[in-house]
Amino acid sequence: MSSQEKVLDLIFGRWRSQILYAGVKLGIFDALGAGSKTAAATAHELGLDPALAYRLLRALGSLELLREDNDRTFSLTETGELLRSDHPQTLRGVTLLEEGPEHYALWKHLPAMVRDGKQNAFMREFGRMAFDHAVRDADYAQVFDNAMSSYSSAQAEWVLNALAAYDFSKMTHLCDVGGGHGYMLARFLARYPHLEGTVLERAEVISDSTRLWAGKLGVSDRCRYVAGDMFKAAPRADAYIMKLILHDWNDDECVRILQNQLAAATPGGRVFIVEHVIPDPETSHFAKLFDIHMMCWGTGRERTQEEYAALLEKAGWKYVATWFPASHAMGVVEGAKL
């Protein structure tokens, strides 16, 4: 690909993500989940205009999400299967959040933020922080929660891979701070049968017991859900894990969260910070792009290993090591209580 083609590919990149969003939003991937259908049959089932639906299906085929036969019959590819709502590793929720109207609207503020040095496009667009918006807008809250669950499977695999050689034998209680519906913690409890666990989360997130993962993964006897505020206190535990939590907040806010865990941790306790860690300047990485999303979304940022180590030290923890999965997609920054 020539330099000109690379630039053009970047310019038109949003076309692909919006075509993907439309396919998910209209239910096309679920409609084709049971098997191949003609474009006309798919349009009829979903209440779509047949001619325009075919053109969208054809575009999704060009993205290698669908397979088109000569008679305008479509089926899901292996990649397209990941967009079904019932797929165990579904990415449907992430699609609806990141390409949906709220997050799409944030990006137009990027030039102005960089010019005036004030991030948080959510505040510029909606007049309130993202978490406050979720409290007031039930639709956004549901999309956000579904997206977090949607991404959890891949993230859990990366974290378990990164910590595969770690010795958890001396720990008995692991607390997942801001752990959502508990998928990450439940996966840990399933992997390490001697562990007990606690999910610390906002009350509104864990109020619906049907969405909690402990029972679904067979570890409910060793897992409890506690409603609370990580800025005020943390439950007592031998170790804490935070997945994509600290990147939501500025440095001072992160230090407060870490100090609360330090105060509650048992002697010799540990903290595991799970984030997309920014690598050296020569390495292209998703974290460097995600950092711009966080600039738009709130007060937080992605950080380097050294920056996370500095946060730990400032909060009173001792930086120990950073663990990576084979893919280096995410990192696990470990701190110890002195």
The pLDDT of residue 149 is 81
pLDDT in tens, 81-137: 999 999 988 999 999 999 999 999 999 999 999 999 999 999 999 999 998 999 899
pLDDT of residue 157: 94
The C-alpha torsion from 297 through 98 and 52 to 5, rounded to 10°, is 90
- pLDDT score of 278: 98
- For the whole model, what pTM was predicted? 0.90
Q: Which residues contact 155 (CB under 8 A, 6 or more apart)?
A: 184, 243, 244, 274, 330
What is the fold, at CATH topology level, of the domain defined by 3-84? Arc Repressor Mutant, subunit A (1.10.10)
Distance of alpha carbon 269 from alpha carbon 262, whole angstroms: 8
The CATH topology of domain 112-336 is Rossmann fold (3.40.50)
What pLDDT does 291 receive?
Answer: 98
Taking residue 256's Cβ as centre, other Cβ atoms within 10 Å add up to 14
User: Domain residues of the chain, as ranges?
Assistant: 3-84, 112-336
Q: Which residues of the chain fall below pLDDT 50?
A: none
